[in-house]
Structure 1
Amino acid sequence: MIAMTLAEIAAATRGTLLLDGTGATPETVVDGLSTTDSREVVPGTIFFAKPGEFTDGHLFAPQAAEAGAGLVVVDHELDLPVPQLLVEDTVVALGDLATEVIARVRALGRLKIVGVTGSNGKTTTKNLLREILEQVGPTIAPRASFNNEVGAPVTMLQVTEETQFLVAEMGASGIGEIARLVRMARPDIGIVLKVGLAHAGEFGGIEKTLAAKTEMVTDLLDTDVAVLNLDDPRVATMADKTVARVLWFGTDERAEVRATDIASTARGTSFTLHLPDGSARTVQFRVLGEHHVWNALAAAAAAFTLDVDGDLIVSALQTVQRAERWRMEVMGGNGVTVINDAYNASPDSMAAAIKTLAQIAEPGTRTIAVLGEMSELGEFSGEEHDRIGLLAVRLGIDQLVIVGPAARRMHISAINEGSWNGESLYFDTQDEAYEHLAGALRPGDTVLVKSSNSAGLRFLGDRLGELFS
């Protein structure tokens, strides 16, 4: 974070400084990172005591003080020998401080900001873009999926005067949340990847999901660029909702950043990348799954807009071996390939992963899909689990292993579609599924493990990967 006095931080957050007995003054300078996790505090850090669903960050403020926090942001005064900033809402204050820091660094004229949203692919696209931009200059991007009202501003506060690029991943579970993040960061480039049923239960339906994702581009200026997926009809409608210049990506021949000749194997995906300058380059993309090509196109489009050389874009894309931990992560060995893609799941990403499994298996080998719940679908949950069960059968997946009561409809649908001779199996628990798979898998098998994060099948994937490594 840039250096700011306590008085400047208080002004930015509309807070009141409590300094008695601390030895600090309003002119004391703080330049440490910000966090809402007391375990991450190092001397000089700003600790935001955030109320949580199960606990309250104020309970951990003493640990933050002991670790050397330079400032503790609270919504009520605590008996601690450390400067405190009393605010009405610590999460709002976090966002206000991020807004001020971004504005100050922007005023220096060096920083360029890319915002990324979409129902699927945000983290992968962010990682790919970071890999590209780090070849050009100092780049800040969130770790893991830091993309909400807390994670996004924590990432933004890492920006310093030397930062050249900020990649801001922007997720949401309701209307107005992306707009708030956009107002904090003011992106020069806004990427929208896809509008699907991920979190549809929280949003209240696909149309509200569309409205929320459109917030990425509605506040862009006419000097900005909206990078939009031409292959997604809902995303394509956003061109009419922004004054920014639109740069299309996809496989549609009208897209300025386009992929042709896509071919998927167990070693990755190859495609030809076409850029707006008319050039075309072959990309040997090691991230597994054809659906990740669209994420690569979005990253390439943003990088091209930032004047990154086409050869550098391709070189950086080809160095990335996996999207992220537990995202199409290839594990296993001794003839058994385990694809652990159980960090998250929506109907679109589940379907894409199963299609990838069907595409990459060698002739004469078995495909096994170990599937768990897709969460946060609300009223769409039953029919979408049914649809995935049917899809697995129609794609010819050799063995379905469904885990957990919330996913059982996939098993029932598969049986109803004809998988009544043991091709689909159901287990209540991961341990039961593991015991079966440990004895049933054999050399040549390709195993996909896929579920929402809350279902926890990523740990089952890890166990299987370790078993055959």
Structure 2
Amino acid sequence: MIDLTLAQIADIVGGELADISAADAAGTRVTGTVEFDSRAVTPGGLFIALPGARSDGHDFAAAAVEKGAAAVLAARPVGVPAIVVQPSSEAGTDTAASVLEHDSDGSGAAVLAALAKLAAAVAAELVAGGLTIVAITGSSGKTSTKDLVAAVLAPLGEVVAPPGSFNNELGTPWTVLRAGTATDFLVLEMSARHPGNIAALAAIAPPSVAVVLNVGTAHLGEFGSREAIAQTKAELPQAVSASGVVILNADDDAVAAMADQTAARVVRVSRSPGADVWAGPVTLDEVARPRFTLHAANTETEVSLAVHGDHQVSNALCAAAVALECGATPAQVAAALADAGPVSQHRMHVTTRDDGVTVIDDAYNANPDSMLAGLKSLAWMARQGREPRRSWAVLGEMAELGDDAISEHDRIGRLAVRLDVSRLIVVGTGRAMSAMHHGAVMEGSWGGEATMVADADLALELLRAELRQGDVVLVKASNAAGLGKLAEALVAS
């Protein structure tokens, strides 16, 4: 948490004081958290007033001060002590559009730009005091890897990491401002919807350790091509100085090529021999938790992961490489990974109910690569035991695929059939979901194995009527599809 006077903050962000004198601003310190939700404000904190589709944070400024906020960072005076920044054509309206639901007058962009300046100043001071910043990007797996990195660094010191997928122009500075002088490691995940987004985030919190996981087709509708996605992901290794280290997943050709785009030392990870950090033969237990031999630092260490899915091996290797670079031993890494279960909500949480039904809740995010990984995990779990178990894939829309949305949804429907998933429930009625259902039918799902329902409520009704003991259910979609509540209801049933 920051410890600055209002006068110092105003100077950093280029704001004007409102409803507070210069003398009082010089004597009033912000020592609490920085919040954009007035309900989360703590005494001595700073409230960030941002506009939204349904409400404007400026309207809650007084309530935030009543809860103990020292002041408000705002785009206009709000009748309580505030640092006011003026909207400007240079405030980054494209950035605001990617983060805020509503910003018609540029006020949100101005406040976000000020927040970035404040976070950058705090990060620079903390780095000078010994803070190590670790940044992670990739088309999929960022949040899971961030959670694993936080877990393997925890034995080495105090770690600050964002909750869930808090990884954009709001989430990154908000997380930076959670760090303090006692923080040893700041772990950030950095996402992008436009070229330049990752470079902007890295400018706020320049990492000394960067991780690039993969280049897939998430946000293909925004970027237009996988090559454009790769160029944007490469902004992270480009931001690391010669004294830093860049960890690359060498199993992805587009990521491996980034070794030539950084001045930093490169550490390669792979599932094959020859990399700096690599995994021996991988096996999965009955709920798809991987086991492998970690080869690193001229040692061989047995690793058993507590997370689910074969795709987690690459994530764990990257986390291991980060920890080793930060001073951990291979034995420490293995011990930490063994205890590092799923943390962030709706990401490969596996629960077996009292009636033997296993629910795989992976409902937060979905793209073609993560859909395939989820379906493979479902198929694996269903094959374990003396007798095969019935498998159910409850799938919602994959967002932001642009012109490829129809073909990619069709492909996932076909993959479900090829992986011998017993039942496919397609949730939604748009063209993309029709394509998923059509793909399953055309691939050979003739006997009603593939069903299309309008919404999550109808999917839940169908599942409750037809699930039987021992079935395995995968719930997966982009967060906008709202299948997280369906997964929670299934677990609670």
TM-score, with structure 2 as normaliser: 0.91
Aligned residue identity for 1:287:
V
Q: Secondary structure at the match of 2:364?
A: coil
| Deviations 1:186-245 (CA, angstroms, capped at 9, x unpaired) | 101110111111111122332221111111011211111110010111111111111111
**Counterpart for residue 281 of structure 1:** 301
| Deviations 1:72-93 (CA, angstroms, capped at 9, x unpaired) | 111111222x243434411000
**Counterpart for residue 188 of structure 1:** 208
2:12 and 2:456 mapped to 1: Cα distance? 48
State which of 155, 161, 170 in structure 2 corresponds to 1:135: 155
Shift of 1:35: 1.2
| Deviations 1:277-325 (CA, angstroms, capped at 9, x unpaired) | 1111111112111101111111101111111121111111111222522
The percent identity for this pair of structures is: 42
1:163 and 1:321 mapped to 2: Cα distance? 23
CA contact (8 A) 1:116 1:122 kept: yes
1:2 to 1:364, Cα distance in 2 relative to 1, 3 A: closer
CA contact (8 A) 1:371 1:450 kept: yes
| Deviations 1:29-80 (CA, angstroms, capped at 9, x unpaired) | 2222111111111111111112234432112212112112112111111222
Aligned residue identity for 1:423:
E
State which of 456, 459, 462 in structure 2 corresponds to 1:436: 462
2:137 and 2:421 mapped to 1: Cα distance? 31
1:25 to 1:424, Cα distance in 2 relative to 1, 3 A: closer
1:229 to 1:283, Cα distance in 2 relative to 1, 3 A: same
1:242 and 1:23 mapped to 2: Cα distance? 47
Q: Secondary structure at the match of 1:134?
A: helix
1:206 and 1:19 mapped to 2: Cα distance? 50
Size of the aligned set, in residue pairs, is 465
**197-206 vs 239-248, greater mean Cα deviation:** 197-206
Q: Secondary structure at the match of 2:369?
A: helix
2:212 and 2:339 mapped to 1: Cα distance? 24
Aligned: 1:63 with 2:63: yes
State which of 357, 379, 392 in structure 1 corresponds to 2:378: 357
**Counterpart for residue 128 of structure 2:** 107
TM-score, with structure 1 as normaliser: 0.96
**Counterpart for residue 436 of structure 2:** 410
CA contact (8 A) 1:74 1:86 kept: yes
State which of 366, 374, 397 in structure 1 corresponds to 2:398: 374
| Deviations 1:241-300 (CA, angstroms, capped at 9, x unpaired) | 111111011213222111122112333423324343111111111211110111111110
Shift of 1:2: 3.0
Q: Secondary structure at the match of 1:234?
A: helix
2:290 and 2:234 mapped to 1: Cα distance? 31
**Counterpart for residue 328 of structure 1:** 348
CA contact (8 A) 2:288 2:380 kept: no
**Counterpart for residue 392 of structure 1:** 416
**Counterpart for residue 52 of structure 2:** 52
**Counterpart for residue 85 of structure 2:** 86
Aligned residue identity for 2:437:
H
Task: Please give the root-mean-square deviation of Cα atoms over the aligned residues, in Å.
Answer: 1.6
Q: Secondary structure at the match of 1:356?
A: helix
**Counterpart for residue 118 of structure 1:** 138
2:63 and 2:133 mapped to 1: Cα distance? 34
CA contact (8 A) 2:414 2:443 kept: yes
| Deviations 1:384-439 (CA, angstroms, capped at 9, x unpaired) | 00110111111111111111113221111111111111111111122222222112
State which of 166, 183, 199 in structure 2 corresponds to 1:179: 199
CA contact (8 A) 2:34 2:174 kept: yes
| Deviations 1:11-44 (CA, angstroms, capped at 9, x unpaired) | 2111112244798232432222111111111111
In structure 2, stretches of 5+ residues that fail to align are 88-109
**155-164 vs 48-57, greater mean Cα deviation:** 48-57
**Counterpart for residue 480 of structure 2:** 454
**Counterpart for residue 313 of structure 2:** 293
Q: Secondary structure at the match of 1:84?
A: strand
State which of 357, 366, 376 in structure 2 corresponds to 1:345: 366
CA contact (8 A) 1:115 1:190 kept: yes
1:357 to 1:126, Cα distance in 2 relative to 1, 3 A: same
Shift of 1:459: 1.2
Aligned: 1:74 with 2:74: yes
1:206 and 1:431 mapped to 2: Cα distance? 35
Aligned: 1:230 with 2:250: yes
Aligned: 1:253 with 2:273: yes
